[in-house]
Structure 1
Amino acid sequence: MHVLPGRFSLQELESRGSTRLPTLQPGTTLLIGRSSTNLTIGDAMVVASDVMASNGIVHVIDRMVQPSRNIQNLPDLHTRLGQMPQYSTFQELLTEYELIGRVERSEAYTVFAPSQEAMDQFRKERPTHPNDEQVMYHVILGEKLMSRDLRPGMHRPTMLGTSYQLGFFSHDGQARRCTRRARRR
């Protein structure tokens, strides 16, 4: 099932002409077009339209489609962190320890970037400069984890290997937060 944010009737989709619309899955789009007779979604034709649901509209298509990934529109890790000054110290550490290339060569990755405030607090508590292992502890290779993927009790190995895992827990009923936990085998 492919979901677009919002409610779009067949007429509303047709009025947009040939276009790409973002799906609820970040970084993906669906190509909306028209054949000689029907609205198309990717290479599938809409065979039933405007089926009303309690909080949306369903359009039935005649085949499975794959959403397009907009990887070319997403900046690399160094650029993305550079666009967010609140992570500048963490970006500097990734660069200093030559980790950005290693991270980006992974097929997927998740970075838990400490804010500038968190970095300042770390430096107050520890007068030493963060080392490469402390930085690598904030990176998971091989998985792109969105906040919706994080579950209490879940553990994932960090860039340091399976002996150093991040644990995820619920905190006071708030959004899940990441806590540091090393597992030695």
Structure 2
Amino acid sequence: MSKIDHALFNAKKHALEKEYEVCPDCGSELVIKNSKKGPFIGCASYPTCEYIRPLAHHDSHVIKVLEGVACPECSRDLVIKNGRYGMFIGCTGYPECHYIGHEDASDSQELPDCPKCKKGKLTQRKNKFGKHFYSCNSYPSCKYTLNAKPIEHACPDCNWPVLVEKTRAGKAVLQCPQKSCQSIVEIP
């Protein structure tokens, strides 16, 4: 028990005390409050004053500047940032420039066009847990997504232009992603 560094616990306690400030709206004290979504800072004179702000900011911070690597959209330097969903490559000109670099998928085969909007292409993306999924690159105007790898092959039953790779009983098959169809085609 003597190996516990009590200074660490006291430092955290004092760090929270520094968060108490004066409300910019009414001049009352700001306090840490809790909700079902987590802690936040709010005005002590609630409900007469409804000032709140998040306790933790989800801003990304720069890990390394990639000097000599220019942004393809605005020609400024690119940086490696650590954000809420992990590390990514972004532009130093943010928020004016919203460029985000993606991993090169040059080793994988060409992915098909989006069957829903017919304007964009399906691209491989990664969610915050590291799992891959496929979505239209014209998001947010098109919200079409697939969890399995899309193959450009028309469904024999409903003529949907894209099938997805699935494994059934240890064999690779193609399946229609439409919920109303779910037709299965064996790979020759």
TM-score (norm 1): 0.28
Relative to the length of structure 2, the TM-score reads 0.27
- Structure 1 or 2, whichever has the larger Rg, is 2
Q: Which has the higher contact order (CA 8 A, sep 6+)?
A: 1
